[in-house]
Amino acid sequence: MTPIWTHLVLNLGQVAFILVFSPLVEGVLHRIEENIQGKSGVSIWQTYRDIWKLFGKDEVVSEQSTWVFRFAPIVAFVMPIFVVLLIPAFTAYPLFFAFMGDMVAVGFLMAVSGFFVALAGMDTGNIYAAVGASRTHMVGFLAEPVFIMVFFSVSYVANSTIPYFVTATWGASWSNMLQPTHLMVILAFFLLILADEGRIPVDSPAGKVEIAMIGHSKGLEYSGSSAALMKWGGASKLMVLALIFVNVLVTPWGLAATTQWTAVLSAMGLVLLKLLAFVVILALVETTLAKLRLFRISEFLAVAFVICLFAVSIRLVGIT
Amino acid sequence: MMAPVSAIMLSIDGSIAALFVIFGLGVMVSRQMLASLRFFMWQASALTASALALAYALQAVNLLWVALITFTTKVIAVPLVLRWAAGEEVYGRREVDQAMGIPASVLVAAMLALVGWFAVAPVLPTLHGVPFAAINLPTGLIMVLWGAFTVAVRRESVAQLMGLLIMENGAFFGSIAIVHNLTVIAEIAAAVDVPIVALVIGLLIRSIRRVTGSTRVGTLDKLHER
Amino acid sequence: MNADWLPVLILLVPLSGALLALLNRRAAPYFSVLAAFITLLLGISAAWHVEAQGPIHASDGLFALDALGALYLLPVCFVYFTSSLYAIGYLWARKQEQASDEAEPRYRQYFPLMNVFALVILAVPLVANLALMWIAIELTTVFSAFLVAYEDRAEALEAAWKYVALTSMGAMIALLGVLMLYYGTHAAGQAPTWNGLLRAAPHMSAPLLLLAFVLWLIGFGAKTGLVPMHTWLPDAHSQAPASVCAVLSGVETSAALYMLLRIYPALAANPGIHDPAAWYMTAGLITVGSAAFMLLQVHDFKRMFAYSTIEHMGIILTACGIGAAVHEQGTVYQLFAHGFTKSFCFFAAGLAGIIFGTQEIAKVRGLISRSPAAGWALVLGTLAIAGAPPFALFLSEFEILYTGYSSGQYLPTGLLTAFIVIAFIALAYQATRIAFGAPDNIPEQHTAPTIKIPRSSLAAMAIAFIPMFVFGFYLPAPLLHLVHEAALMLEVPA
């Protein structure tokens, strides 16, 4: 096949990669957390069964809701698919859609999906979903400067905003990898993942108390295939952020350098291993920290912001 | 010092310095005293790591001793001394409040970092043959300034003690890049000085707690001109 | 005996005094006085040796003593001796005079701590290495913390806390400066001592030296009590017992000032630093001015003497800048005389405190009629510290002002004169308020048995009076020579 067709197939393969493996990632994360807490935990394939079950059920939709309510799960499901087309999932070279958008576009896509989901939460009149939506927007508003600073520092170092080129820059040499800006950006981005994905210490993913939910109240009103799409979309979003973290920032190696299917398959395996390591670390961090009180979240994100600012200023004054 | 150092070691030292600053920020903004102490221990570990990295890169045996002495006194001895001298005050999980909120403190810290950077900037070009000074010296001065700010803005005695300790960390961090010939006596004495200071301050905290019933020294203001 | 051993001996004697005081509590005061007396004799002989035969260099390079160090060493030894003598009776009398329900003061720790405290102050002029000097200065804070908090009251603990926090903060800032100078002297191929610094200074990079100096000014300035880092000084020096205050005010703040003075020739020798004298004059004048105005509104007579200490530190710093172009004799003589004079003032203040049971100026009246010795001592001490003739400080202040006017530096010298005059007025006013007047404001609990002034304290005060008075009009020739030599060390090499 000509390179263009190969790239297209690989790009679509990335989408399949996300859709197939994201419930597994979520299942493994859940299982590890419960094991650390001393419980035996549910099976790691449980999320697949939940999604399958939900697709088979009927939907109940409130009469007071509008088209936003019905549209939001589709947006939430599709957004990670678009994002994964732009980031290096298992190849080191840019693929067919790679130049469709850069990191700023990634941020924009996430913002669009968050916008619709939050609006849909307020759409039905359920008080808990509305409270959760407003809190999500608060956290998002505070996390926005951090996102921008991360993108800015990363692109400042790499002289480009395309994720593939950023990967190449970090992986170029050990002195690039170990520079302080890199370390600070990793730290800040990890804190961002915790905030954006609603993990402890920002929000409790396993909690069922609606009044304490921040981001996880978005799925309260959905049922049937909408609920399945929301669940699948949420898991895909976590996997996409994790992919950006491990492939672009932390370990920019091990990605396929050629289009040979052996290289691609081994790269997929390596990426899954890296995701496993990330999930383990995430589980450890989550189980050792306590959930922050709501008004302390601004301090948490302020620290992330300062770390990022520091990273940029180190680079700006040209120490290393 | 005449041989050029590898870029990798520069990057490693830079990352250690960045971690040093982050831990210092952690000491400044920690709400619990125990968290402050833990961040201080991590910061002292970062100081040790930097000394080891510089000892390897510059082939300076003296810095190995510095690393060993720093680790022993600051990571091991100081927490033990504090536990003995003022255990309930430090190891009780209590919240510390501050005169300035955390976001405002962080902003002031950022401004102090700028001040420190611009104070050191004219000195750096004149330092010849000291490759790591450009990383360590500004970091050290910034940490000294942040420590002074912590002492000034926190109202709690243990937090002020942490401020003093990170100032000492900063002074040493700044100097390991430029001073390689500190006599052993001076090094040991300066290092032993830290647990002694911690001891005296711990005992003082205990006395303050016994006499006034709390350790919030920021509220002690009976002595002033009327 | 071989003079090279003198520095080590001078340090060993207080150490053994401290150990003996730990071993035998009852005889501790007497061991202290004995150790202090021996130290005084050793100090005088060391200074004599330096004056006659030049600086002492111990063979292992750890210790050294030169003229300026010897001139500073003398008041330290003397105040150590008189304060130890004074403390014998004073501490007992103070315990009697305080209300019985207050907590037991730390009597048992006083004498060992005092001896170690004196040891580390003595170490400052005696050690050769800059880093060891810094350690000595930091240790003075550490060992005097519980001397300031001698009485277990909330105010004393507050004063001790502020003292330790602020001076340690200053010491850490100065540490970075000391280590930068360490690098600077090493890069120029010299040893990290005062001589090495002076030789290396013309070759050091100006920004490095300037940054190190600024760190010293802030760091050691906090320890000296320069405004605006002075806030701990009135508290610490008013809450500590008078024998400790004498050492703190008389010689401990001077230790940090000594460091600031000795870096001046290095600054002047470096071609890249413009007008270091202006730095000293500005810092000094701000301090003197603030202290003079604060003296006008003080309510407690020990705080009054503490502000006077701040004022004198400022005067010495300003004098260093003023005399840079001419000669520094006034500066070094003021450093020398201040130790004796301030300790005498605090001895008198301590006795007044015992007699009245309070330190507030508004509550004490007619001290002279109640106790002529203490009353006259307070009046004379206040006049002496304000710079009146025929006391030693008058000579030094006159010398400083004369140097300033004769070299044409009218503005700084004029300001200095104005501030000294304001301080004089304030001090004299407060002293007359305390000493004269009818003794009608007697607190009730003192109508019954009047506290007798302990004889040891009176003796100490009388001994302390002698140099303060005699050096106001007569300096023995060796001492005069020593002053000249010390002043030469501060002057700019031509």
Q: Over the stretch C340-392, which tens digit does the pLDDT of each residue have?
A: 999 999 999 988 888 877 778 777 777 777 778 888 888 889 999 998 888 98
Give the residue carrying structure tokens 């699948």.
A232
Q: Give the residue-averaged pLDDT of C192-215.
A: 90
> Do residues B209 and C147 lie in contact, with contact meaning Cβ atoms separated by under 8 Å?
no
Q: Give the residue-averaged pLDDT of A91-112.
A: 85
Helix (H, G, I), strand (E, B) or coil at C455: helix
For residue C445, pLDDT over 50 is answered with no
Quick one: what percent of chain C has pLDDT higher than 90?
41
Give the mean pLDDT of chain A.
88
Strand segments, DSSP code E, in A172-216 are none
pLDDT of res. C447: 45
What's the pLDDT tens digit per position in C237-273?
Answer: 988 999 999 999 989 999 999 999 999 999 988 888 8
Domain count, chain B: 1
What's the pLDDT tens digit per position in A303-317?
Answer: 888 888 888 888 887
Delimit the domains of chain A by residue range. 3-317
In whole angstroms, what is the distance from residue B224 CA to residue C8 CA? 42
Joined together, the tokens standing for residue C254 give: 């001077």
> Do residues C244 and C149 lie in contact, with contact meaning Cβ atoms separated by under 8 Å?
no
Helix (H, G, I), strand (E, B) or coil at C360: strand
What's the pLDDT tens digit per position in B68-119?
Answer: 988 998 999 988 888 887 777 777 766 666 677 777 888 898 899 989 989 9
Q: Is A285 on the interface with B (CB under 8 A)?
A: no
Look up residue A215 and give its DSSP letter: S
In whole angstroms, what is the distance from residue A240 CA to residue A81 CA? 9
Nearby residues of B152 by Cβ (< 8 Å), 6 or more positions away = none
Q: Is C157 on the interface with B (CB under 8 A)?
A: yes
For residue A123, pLDDT over 60 is answered with yes
Asked which of A88-102, B1-15, B188-202, C450-464 is least confident by mean pLDDT, the reply is B1-15
**Residues of B with Cβ-Cβ distance to C151 under 8 angstroms:** none
> Do residues B147 and B163 lie in contact, with contact meaning Cβ atoms separated by under 8 Å?
yes
Is A314's CB within 8 Å of B14's CB? yes
Q: Give the residue-averaged pLDDT of A163-171.
A: 86
Quick one: what percent of chain C has pLDDT higher than 70?
94
> Do residues B183 and C185 lie in contact, with contact meaning Cβ atoms separated by under 8 Å?
no
Q: How many CB atoms lie within 10 A of CB A2?
A: 7
A218: nearest Cα among A294, A135, A112, A301? A135
For chain B, the C-alpha Rg in angstroms (whole number) is 18
Closest Cα in chain B to A184: B18
Is B190's CB within 8 Å of C183's CB? no
For residue B13, pLDDT over 60 is answered with yes
In whole angstroms, what is the distance from residue C381 CA to residue C379 CA? 5
B220 lies in some domain: no
Of B12, B103, B134, the CB nearest to A302: B103
In whole angstroms, what is the distance from residue B136 CA to residue B148 CA? 18
At A92, the pLDDT band (50, 70, 90 cuts) reads confident
In whole angstroms, what is the distance from residue C142 CA to residue C146 CA? 8
At C438, the pLDDT band (50, 70, 90 cuts) reads low
CA atoms within 13 Å, Cβ hemisphere of A193 = 23
Q: How many CB atoms lie within 10 A of CB C215?
A: 26
Crossing angle of the two packed helices A224-243 and A46-55, in degrees rounded to 10: 140
In whole angstroms, what is the distance from residue C120 CA to residue C251 CA? 12
What's the pLDDT tens digit per position in C216-229?
Answer: 999 999 999 998 88
C357: nearest Cα among C93, C155, C17, C2? C93
For residue C135, pLDDT over 80 is answered with yes
Q: How many residues does chain B have?
A: 226
- Picking from A300, A306, A312 by the largest number of B CB atoms within 10 A of its own CB, the best residue to mutate is A306
In whole angstroms, what is the distance from residue C462 CA to residue A292 CA? 67
pLDDT of res. B220: 65
For residue C451, pLDDT over 80 is answered with no
pLDDT of res. C102: 56
What's the pLDDT tens digit per position in B44-69?
Answer: 999 999 999 998 888 888 888 888 98
Of A173, A302, A320, the CB nearest to B102: A302
What's the pLDDT tens digit per position in C277-314?
Answer: 899 999 999 999 999 999 988 888 889 999 999 999 99
> Do residues B38 and B163 lie in contact, with contact meaning Cβ atoms separated by under 8 Å?
no
Phi, psi of C355 (to 5 degrees): -65, -45
- Helix (H), strand (E), coil (C) string for A92-109: CCCCCCHHHCCHHHHHHH
- Picking from B5, B6, B15, B115 by the largest number of A CB atoms within 10 A of its own CB, the best residue to mutate is B15
Amino acid at B94: R
At C164, the pLDDT band (50, 70, 90 cuts) reads very high
The DSSP-derived string for C168-226 is: HHHHHHHHHHHHHHHHHHHHTT--SSHHHHHHHGGGS-HHHHHHHHHHHHHHHHHHHT-
In whole angstroms, what is the distance from residue A238 CA to residue A195 CA? 12
Closest Cα in chain B to A312: B18
User: Is B touching A (3+ C-beta pairs, cut-off 8 A)?
Assistant: yes
Q: Kindly report the pTM of this predicted structure.
A: 0.87
In whole angstroms, what is the distance from residue A305 CA to residue B44 CA? 24
B97 lies in some domain: yes
Joined together, the tokens standing for residue C225 give: 């009590």
Q: How many CB atoms lie within 10 A of CB B101?
A: 14
Integer angstrom CA distances of residue C419 from C284, C320, C390, C423: 11, 17, 20, 6
What's the pLDDT tens digit per position in C80-128?
Answer: 999 999 998 888 887 776 655 555 677 788 899 999 999 999 999 999 8
> Do residues C292 and C348 lie in contact, with contact meaning Cβ atoms separated by under 8 Å?
no
A73: nearest Cα among A223, A197, A179, A213? A223
At C193, the pLDDT band (50, 70, 90 cuts) reads confident
Q: Give the residue-averaged pLDDT of A70-89.
A: 92
Q: Give the residue-averaged pLDDT of C194-214.
A: 90
For residue C480, pLDDT over 80 is answered with yes
B219 lies in some domain: no
Q: Is C172 on the interface with B (CB under 8 A)?
A: yes
Of A175, A311, A317, the CB nearest to B117: A317
pLDDT of res. C171: 92
pLDDT of res. B88: 75
Q: Give the residue-averaged pLDDT of A266-294.
A: 92
Of B122, B181, B197, the CB nearest to C207: B122
Nearby residues of A170 by Cβ (< 8 Å), 6 or more positions away = A158, A176, A177, A182, A248, A249, A252
In whole angstroms, what is the distance from residue B150 CA to residue B156 CA? 10
In whole angstroms, what is the distance from residue A5 CA to residue C433 CA? 102
In whole angstroms, what is the distance from residue A105 CA to residue C462 CA? 86
How far is CA A73 from its chain centroid?
16
What's the pLDDT tens digit per position in C7-23?
Answer: 888 889 999 989 888 88
**Residues of A with Cβ-Cβ distance to B25 under 8 angstroms:** 303, 306-307
Joined together, the tokens standing for residue B37 give: 């102490």
Query: Which residues on chain B place their C-beta less than 8 Å from a C-beta of chain A?
Result: 6-8, 10-12, 14-15, 17-19, 21-22, 25, 29, 102-103, 106, 109-110, 113, 117, 134-135, 138
In whole angstroms, what is the distance from residue A23 CA to residue B90 CA? 45
Nearby residues of C118 by Cβ (< 8 Å), 6 or more positions away = C14, C36, C39, C76, C80, C247
Helix (H, G, I), strand (E, B) or coil at C40: helix
In whole angstroms, what is the distance from residue A228 CA to residue A234 CA? 10
What's the pLDDT tens digit per position in A204-215?
Answer: 888 888 888 888
Q: Please state whether C60 falls in left (phi above 0), alpha (psi between -120 and 50) or beta.
A: alpha
Joined together, the tokens standing for residue A83 give: 């994002």
Q: Which domain holds residue B102?
A: 7-211
B224 lies in some domain: no
pLDDT of res. C6: 84
Joined together, the tokens standing for residue A147 give: 């996102």
Joined together, the tokens standing for residue A269 give: 């395996």
Is A309's CB within 8 Å of B110's CB? yes
Is A175's CB within 8 Å of B10's CB? yes
Q: Smallest CA–CA separation between C308 and chain B, in Å?
A: 15
Integer angstrom CA distances of residue A21 from B56, B222, C18, C323: 44, 67, 74, 81
> Do residues C278 and C317 lie in contact, with contact meaning Cβ atoms separated by under 8 Å?
no
Which helix (H) or strand (E) segment is C491 a member of? none
